[in-house]
């Protein structure tokens, strides 16, 4: 037995309560940052993102003022709470469709933050134009590496059954392509081509088909769909979930208004267009919450025996007989289901709890 250590700072590594305590400790940082007008914040564990949206006129000045104010609040919070920001991993990125993007001067304490063109946040690679080309290229590379496992299985005597290969692909490889794939609904077919190519390569390994075999045939055999169809399905599911967020009126009252950029549509616009194309009901029904089956049922516990006896002077065989008689009288076998709860069923000698 080791001694009981006392910690005045930080949290023990691997402790059950460490994550919860850290979330409680850092949770107010997002609310503090959003006290600056126009600042939005996302916080996942210790990954913090601040962003600001500004109109084209005076965009750089407004962005500098708002974000630098939020960074000052962040620095003060860290000083008061004994936290340190890793400035080596801190940078900023601008998103704009203009040919010349803004270049604001952002500083955290005495350090000027670096401007970058790509940034990875929670596994998603964001580029300045949100084309998702870099993200798709990295995903395709990871998928290609994992397809080597499928090639080995397909070329072996054991484990090469079509069902095994199909399950391996859907559980080990396909989730990489479908992780946070909903924004890819706005990507062009040319941009999605690396994912579609990797998907088709996996189908050929599963079915043993050659390049001349039509893709539709392999999709039918494996019970799969094209990557574009899977992305559209995921995007529609996400959009329907957004419509049903409790106490939220933004998505439920969202209207698609005329836009100057005819060829640039976001996730919501694409989902609305796809719903109309597929003729999906535009008025979603509210989801029925799962109910506890015991909530509307009065549970009655009956432990009273038909005949009174003292356990100290009653043989076990007689007690078992009285218990079975009580069960059969109060809970007839043709109306109740006997459930064995304590493993006492041994050669027709058992104790049960009847359930109707």
pLDDT digits (tens, 9 = 90+) for 289-310: 667 766 666 767 777 888 888 8
Q: Provide the pLDDT for residue 348.
A: 52
Classify residue 40 by its DSSP letter: E
User: Token pair 């996302």 is at which residue?
Assistant: 42
d(CA 230, CA 225): 6
Query: Would you call 129 helix, strand, or coil by DSSP?
Result: coil
Instruction: Tell me the two tokens of residue 257.
Output: 């208004």
pTM above threshold 0.85: no
**pLDDT of 9-45, one tens digit each?**
777 777 778 888 888 888 889 899 999 999 999 998 8
Helix spans in 82-172 (H)? 133-154, 162-168
Q: Collect all residues with Cβ–Cβ distance below 8 Å to 26 and sequence separation of at least 6.
A: 43, 46, 83
Q: Collect all residues with Cβ–Cβ distance below 8 Å to 138 and sequence separation of at least 6.
A: 125
Please, which pLDDT band fits residue 155 given cuts at 50, 70 and 90?
A: confident
Q: Provide the pLDDT for residue 75.
A: 94
What is the mean pLDDT of the segment spanning 151-156? 81
Q: Provide the pLDDT for residue 152.
A: 87
Average pLDDT of the chain to the nearest whole number:
84
Instruction: Tell me the two tokens of residue 168.
Output: 């391996």
Give yes or no for residue 355 having a pLDDT over 80.
no
What is the mean pLDDT of the segment spanning 176-199? 93
**pLDDT of 46-89, one tens digit each?**
889 999 998 888 889 999 999 999 999 999 999 998 889 999 99
Q: Provide the pLDDT for residue 141.
A: 94
């Amino acid at each position: 037995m080791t001694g009981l250590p006392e910690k005045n700072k930080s949290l023990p590594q691997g402790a059950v309560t460490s994550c919860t305590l850290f979330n409680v400790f850092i949770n107010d940082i997002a609310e503090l940052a959003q006290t600056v007008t126009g600042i939005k914040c996302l916080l996942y564990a210790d990954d913090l993102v601040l962003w600001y949206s500004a109109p084209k006129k005076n965009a750089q000045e407004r962005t500098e003022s708002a974000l630098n104010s939020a960074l000052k609040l962040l620095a003060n919070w860290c000083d008061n709470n004994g936290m340190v920001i890793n400035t080596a991993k801190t940078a900023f990125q601008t998103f704009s469709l203009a040919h010349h993007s803004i270049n604001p001067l952002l500083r955290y304490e005495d350090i000027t933050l670096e401007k970058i063109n790509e940034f990875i946040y929670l596994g998603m690679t964001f580029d300045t134009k949100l084309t998702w080309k870099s993200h798709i290229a990295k995903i395709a590379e990871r998928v290609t590496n994992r397809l080597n496992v499928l090639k080995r299985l397909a070329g072996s005597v054991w484990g090469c059954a079509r069902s095994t290969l199909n399950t391996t692909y859907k559980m080990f490889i396909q989730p990489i392509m479908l992780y946070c794939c909903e924004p890819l609904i706005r990507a062009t077919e040319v941009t999605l081509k690396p994912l579609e190519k990797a998907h088709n390569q996996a189908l050929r390994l599963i079915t043993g088909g050659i390049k001349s075999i039509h893709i539709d045939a392999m999709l039918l055999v494996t019970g799969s769909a094209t990557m574009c169809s899977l992305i559209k399905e995921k995007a529609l599911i996400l959009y329907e979930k957004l419509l049903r967020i409790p106490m939220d009126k933004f998505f439920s009252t969202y209207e698609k208004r005329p836009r100057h950029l005819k060829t640039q549509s976001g996730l919501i616009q694409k989902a609305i267009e796809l719903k109309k194309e597929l003729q999906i009901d535009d008025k979603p029904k509210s989801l029925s919450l799962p109910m506890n089956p015991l909530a509307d049922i009065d549970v009655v516990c009956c432990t009273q025996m038909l005949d009174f006896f003292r356990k100290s002077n009653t043989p076990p065989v007689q007690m078992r007989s009285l218990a079975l008689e009580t069960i059969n009288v109060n809970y007839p076998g043709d109306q109740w289901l006997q459930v064995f709860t304590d493993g006492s069923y041994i050669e027709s000698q058992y104790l049960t709890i009847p359930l109707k």
